[in-house]
Structure 1
Amino acid sequence: MATIQCKVEVPAVEGLNENEITVGREILLACEGEFPKNLDQEKLHFVLKPEMKYKIHLLKFEFRSSTAADITATAYKAGEIQIDDLQLSDGTQTLSLGAIQYGVQSVLPKQAPGAPEVKQEPFGPFGPAQLSVPMLYWAMLAAFIGLVILLVVAKIYRVVQRRNMLQRLKEHDSALSPLAQFHQSFRKLQRINSVFFGVAASKEDIQTCLEDTNKMLKLFLTRRYQVPALEWNDRLILKDLKKHHPKVHQHFGDDLKKLLNEYSRGFQDKENLKEQDVLNIATSTRHLVEEMERMS
């Protein structure tokens, strides 16, 4: 066990009496000796008997040099403190700091003679750092509750949206099946849009082809799988298919995700779209819709 020599000092604090140790006031143990080089400062603690628990408490350990260190401590109980051999340990190594003796004054008003004794309960350190913990706790709790409420509201909103969508399906109702309606709209677009003529198409026709085939795809998904594809974003569409039509999602989820991403990139980069770009997207859309219908 390494032996260190320490002396007790009382750091000056404005408003407090010099060299007077009161409950909760910091005291400094200025120590010199041979300290182990591999001392784990994060795990340091005083080795104390239960009855000494509130008489000294380690706050901070700091090296001044390889042979000198400052130990900041405090006491939570008033009285004359005498420790014959104060020991400091990191759980692996134990240092003997020698005998320590000091007196701690109560911060409570002195009692008049004959007055009933007021028992002083030990209390922990106080200061701004301790006061900030409850505020942080409540802020984190409020954020968590807010997140839960937001998720619940979003869930309810999507359920209501799906219910309303089922009612609005009548607006898209047709004597044609979802696939037949898709083919009818696709053939009509092929007849009037120059993207399908094998010649240079106008910017307007390129964008119209992208928008119309995207709407055809989402109308097919809406009617065939009863998912609000015309209103929801791509992530929610895929999530709904996975929940309500797992077999379809298993076989076509990746292809549908890839196709929806192609549309998304096309809408974001309209100025650079070429005829062949939207023609490829349109063809991929028709093939995927036909494959999904064949499986259903």
Structure 2
Amino acid sequence: MMSPLHALCPIHPERCSPYSPSSRRFLNPLLADLRTCFSKQLIHTVYRQHPDWAAQITERTAEKLINWKAAGTLRLQVLRVLYEKHIRPCPPQDMLSFIQEGGSALKNHAVFEALQAFLKTRGPRGDNWRLWEAPFKKPDTPEVARFAHTHQEEVGFWLFLQWLAVKSLKYAARTAREAGMPIGLIADIAVGLAPSGAECWSQQDNFLIGASIGAPPDQLAPAGQNWGLTTFSPQALQQNGYEAFIAMLRAGFAAGGGIRFDHVMGLERIWLIPDGGNSNEGTYLTMPQADLKNLLALESVRAGGMVIGEDLGTVPKGFRSRMAEKKYGA
């Protein structure tokens, strides 16, 4: 079982919690294995051309704890050099096919990454799309289209990173099976999304931006919990044929063996707190549980993967037996 591999905030590698993702559809490229695309000899050659990298790697290796900011920044520098010199001039056909198959969702993710990095250089508000200038707050404006056109190379870099990350995950999953793991890798799916991230920007109608999820007061946390994440809008899910939920599941099942659903009680209800409110001022939001559970079962069969639900905390009465009816492990 792996921690979530979700896309985070690459311009801030120090924001490294995999449970506060920018997107659950796409992957964290800092975890990608360069060797799935580049030969060991080529990688060593590139490193030799940048002697300052060796000193940084030595320093990072000697540290007892991961310095995510320094390590992530260096990693992106390496990836950018490899892209500029060995991918951008002549992109591999399977990368071009990957981009085409990814459609507008993949393109919007890459545009967001490029736009966020660009706006960050212009001031601190660049971190959070909700503070951007109005023309950039939605993905389908003429200004965003113009940015994507004039920054094609930068957008291409972020598309490349997703392609590399997916190749790496497929390689890891295949290696695990070949090594004798009968189930294979199990991917963890975070319970919510960072409201300032790529998925909320590109699909604003699908999420309850302006509210946070958490947990009501209990013995563990007498004041309650606010996780600083947002969740699906039940009405939008139903209106859009559950497309966002299905896409999230398919991204998780891509690891091959199955998924672990964080705070699986969220399939039935989830504690919702208005922005600015205290954790104990929230209320339970009822989800379309029958549809969500049926879709989860359907996608599990479709992918040939198992489902595990994490059910710590305040559990609704009869929840575990209802999950058992679907043959989920909880």
TM-score relative to the length of structure 1: 0.20
Give the structure, 1 or 2, with the largest relative contact order (CA under 8 Å, sep 6 or more): 2
Q: Which has the larger radius of gyration?
A: 1
Query: More strand per residue: 1 or 2?
Result: 1
TM-score, normalised with respect to structure 2: 0.19
